[in-house]
Structure 1
């Protein structure tokens, strides 16, 4: 299995410039390769008998043959991996079932995140050592902020710069042992702000996270006011940059809190249970309602499913996905009655009968149930 650990890098002034040069070189290679690929594909579409279909090898050979002198002072793996990623992007372009389906685009130097990849990096005495290009005299190891917990073979290292800070994603090939079998079943009903399962409830938007979002709202309002008053000149002032740094730090804290909470919760699920049932939700369509789009985004439904999917694969656990048409919320877990039409429970409850959104009143057997507990019970049926 491939596991990833993210670390913060602290390069010296010399290596900082070298990393920025590699980021620019990755963007240059991607744009050159994409232009070459587009030209080859257009020629192939015009005359398929006279021209061959573009591929990673053909594009790579074309770029390597036309290398400039300055390119030999930079890592060759940056060019190779950029073309490899472009080949994957082109393969995805022909698969319309993907969520982010679309034609590969050119990279912009104005993008807030710039990065590159290498597969020849090493960990030496607790520091990261990148592959040294030919003809470079000074080359230093880069220290990072924490100890690497993973023990395995270091594969690809992705390094990117965002807001002047360098980060590295270390990909290790490790052997993962399956967790012990517990013969227990559970189901998770995801809601805005909290997740319900058989052992209780977990808050995915705790109070400390709400306080951070209030700070983010305050910083955004201040920055918008500065732009309105001072126009384009506002972005060049010290006060604006200071406020923007505070906003970015608050966003980073909020993301770390959410990711840490999701990682711990999914690890607890695959440790305590052998079979886990969740809903196959159309998250993007749900966000289009604008009723709770911000809460849906902050509850991280998609990230929760992504983590749970690969952890179940790692540890030999079974993940069951309930179909989008499965009425887990509208079905009575005691008698099986399914609400339809005007009787359905919505985010605002039921206006016809005047019930709340967190209450399930069965009109056939008269049972009064908690909406979330009833949904968990209905999902648990699919585990058998």
Structure 2
């Protein structure tokens, strides 16, 4: 069996000077239109209690182009500007559905530099991509082939803080549904990035710690340069390159891990970790961020959907570490420095392996009862401690030691 999906293929490319200048202008215009539309929608609601939709902002864009102050918007392709308005519409839709915060303004220094082109704004012929307002195709490094006969429906061009240029091609792809019979519970940690219910421990590479000395040197060099100078800009570029190296290696490692888990197992059970609360603990924030648990879950979710796997998320208050996987007894206390413990039934547990086994058992019970993925509890967003706790309802009926 196979399944058709929309898949983005990202490549690095090297623009000419004219192409880089054109893309830089496009990025600036996209940011300007997005911010203007956000101001218009905010003022309309604040002053007149009126909701402005995408079509209204599209009419505003046409009017802005006719003014002398914003006439420069006509110099770039109109499609990326229209796509920016669509992205703003999605942001407001998520806000009103309480899935996200109120949309914020795009910053020239901090926001992602990107522009999205649809089929009317680029030409794809013979494996060569030419964007609107450009006469030459992009010099793309084809690090991997596109699916046979694929034609991109959307092209996104971006530039990262390290100055590297990337193009992402959204194409139709076919995912082969390979059968798998395994079931695994996954406990995330810091010393061991992942501990599986099979007893296997995956070492945490700690890429940020490996490059911490190099990063510190680069940041000290920035601090010594005069603000606004060309040397300071070069030093900041060096810092961005160090961060890019850390990010690339971490992402590559997580991609390999999640692909392996999805291909080998039909059911995967993980914990619903409150990463946002955990990073508030200043002793653990750096290590938690380096582990990238949120990114791991995001990759695992879409890959499980592609391959037709069952991904179960166990409630964050489930006492996986305190519960004996052999007899079901619950320990009263389990400090973080306790890495192994012995239950009164005589069973000695490795803390992480025991937690992974309990997570798997809880996830299988959810599947058997038809519960699917558990919703996030409201209490997890009410400011409780970032340390792992058990909910009284989650431990009701469990024998305590």
Distance 1:147 1:186, change over 3 A: same
Residue ranges of structure 2 left out of the alignment (5+ in a row): 365-401
| 1:376 matched residue in structure 2 | 356
1:282 aligns with 2:274: yes
**Structure 1 residue 317 and structure 2 residue 319: aligned?**
no
Q: Which residue of 2 aligns with 1:332?
A: 324
**More divergent stretch after superposition (331-340 vs 69-78):** 69-78
1:81-96 matched pairs, under 5 angstroms: 81-96=83-98
Match of 2:157?
159
- Deviations along 1:263-299, whole A, 9 cap, x unmatched? 0111001111111111111111122122311111000
User: Structure 2 matches for 1:106-117, cutoff 5 A?
Assistant: 106-111=105-110, 113-117=112-116
* Counterparts in 2 of 1:306 and 1:127: CA distance versus 1, 3 Å: same
Query: 1:153·1:174 contact (CA, 8 Å) conserved in 2?
Result: no
**Residue 176 (structure 1) aligns with:** 175
Q: 1:19 to 1:315 in 2, by over 3 A?
A: same
Q: Could you tell me which of 242, 245, 249 is aligned with 2:241?
A: 249
TM-score (norm 2): 0.80
Q: Residues 223 and 32 from structure 1, CA distance in 2 versus in 1: closer, same or farther, beyond 3 angstroms? A: closer
CA distance in 1, matches of 2:140, 2:83: 24
Question: Quick one: distance in 1 between partners of 2:267 and 2:313?
Answer: 11
Structure 1 residues 272-311: aligned runs within 5 Å: 272-311=264-303
Counterpart in the other structure of 2:205: 205
Counterparts in 2 of 1:32 and 1:235: CA distance versus 1, 3 Å: closer
Map of 2:335 onto structure 1: 346
SS, match of residue 129 in structure 1:
strand
* Alignment map for 1:192-231 (pairs within 5 Å): 192-193=190-191, 194-197=193-196, 198=198, 200-205=200-205, 210-224=209-223, 226=224
Which of 135, 141, 159 aligns to 2:137? It is 141
User: 3-state DSSP class of the match of 1:168?
Assistant: strand
**Structure 1 residues 23 and 241, CA gap change in structure 2 (3 angstroms):** closer
Distance between the aligned counterparts of 1:195 and 1:79, measured in 2? 42
Q: 1:223 to 1:59 in 2, by over 3 A?
A: closer
How much has 1:199 moved relative to structure 2?
Answer: 5.8
Q: Distance in 2 between matches of 1:115 and 1:345?
A: 47
Distance 1:129 1:375 in 2: 52
Q: Within 2, Cα distance between the matches of 1:126 and 1:154?
A: 10
1:278 is paired with a residue of what secondary structure?
strand
What SS does structure 1 have at the residue aligned with 2:139? strand
RMSD of aligned C-alpha atoms? 2.2
Equivalent of 1:271 in 255, 258, 263: 263
Which shifted more, 71-80 or 308-317? 71-80
* Shift, 1:214, TM fit: 2.6
Tell me the distance in 2 between the aligned counterparts of 1:66 and 1:291.
Answer: 50
Measure how far apart 1:242 and its partner are: 4.3
Pairwise CA distance, 1:256: 1.0
Could you tell me how far apart the structure 2 residues matched to 1:22 and 1:378 are? 52
Whether contact under 8 Å (1:333, 1:378) holds in the other structure is yes
Q: Which residue of structure 1 aligns with residue 341 of structure 2?
A: 360
Q: CA deviation at 1:243?
A: 3.7
Residue number in structure 2 paired with 1:353: none
8 Å contact kept, 1:189–1:376: yes
1:360 deviates by: 2.3
Structure-2 residue corresponding to 1:352: none
SS in 2 for 1:195: strand
State which of 5, 19, 24 in structure 1 corresponds to 2:28: 24
Q: Distance in 2 between matches of 1:368 and 1:199?
A: 14
